[in-house]
Structure 1
Amino acid sequence: MATPAAPVVRRVEDKHRYEILVDGVLAGFTEYLDRDEQRVFYHTEIGDAFAGQGLASRLVRQALTDVRDAGKRIVPVCPYVAGFLEKHDGFADITDPVTPDVRHWLREALH
């Protein structure tokens, strides 16, 4: 019997999201838009079949590490990303507050 492969996180630039795959199957994603040097995360979703496996945490941790490696800053509009950052202060140095200006920009950008 084959051992299941470790989940894989990848950035899909043309979809503006990071995806997590389990055995090649899309298990979830976190969506973002870039605003100058900021990467604004606005939605995270894990499929029901993959819930409770810690995949959202793994996905967001790797996405935020990629943001750091790219020299960008994090804006956590997404409640899951915001909650993750409250529990893990390792990204505090590159996290910007969610301001009314950011929210307005995001609404305009998504419509």
Structure 2
Amino acid sequence: MPTDVRNNTALERFEITVDGEVAGYIEYQDTAGERAFVHTEIDPRFEGQGYARDLVEAALHATGAEGLGALPMCRVVGHFIETRPQYLSMVPHWARDRLGLPQ
């Protein structure tokens, strides 16, 4: 099924759509230099199909393209970064210890 991820700035969240239907989202709050990802939710009908992974990856790519760091306050985003070290550099050093991520 065709998917799309977009930044819904009005609601401060990235949304993933499947066949035009919102299947999930990541809420965020921007600061001067970072984007704090605070909550991820996937509709139960779409769970277990890899949409959360696609959503987080797209949100992190967009965040990096905007020149922002990432603060994974949400466990889904935190786990994604923890298991994919290539994204760890997006998390500021001061936040890694606080969030239980490697330095």
TM above 0.5: yes
Distance 1:94 1:25 in 2: 30
Q: Distance in 1 between matches of 2:77 and 2:84?
A: 10
State the match for 1:49 in structure 2.
45
Instruction: Give distance in 1, aligned partners of 2:57 and 2:33.
Output: 19
Q: Report the secondary structure of 1:53's partner residue.
A: coil
CA distance in 1 between partners of 2:65 and 2:55 (Å): 15
Per-residue CA deviations over 1:38-94 (Å, capped at 9, x if unaligned) read: 000000000000011000000000000001100000000001100000111111111
Deviating above 4 A after TM superposition, structure 1's stretches of 4 or more consecutive aligned residues are none
Give the AA of the match of 2:43.
G
**Structure 1: tracts of 5 or more residues without a match:** 101-111
Q: Choose the corresponding residue for 1:20, options 16, 26, 32.
A: 16
| Cα separation, 1, equivalents of 2:19 and 2:80 | 25
Give the equivalent residue in structure 2 for 1:29: 25
Q: Percent identity?
A: 35
TM-score normalized by the length of structure 1: 0.82
Match for residue 68 of structure 2 among 72, 91, 103: 72
Segments of structure 2 that go 5 or more residues without pairing to the other structure are: none
Larger Rg: 1
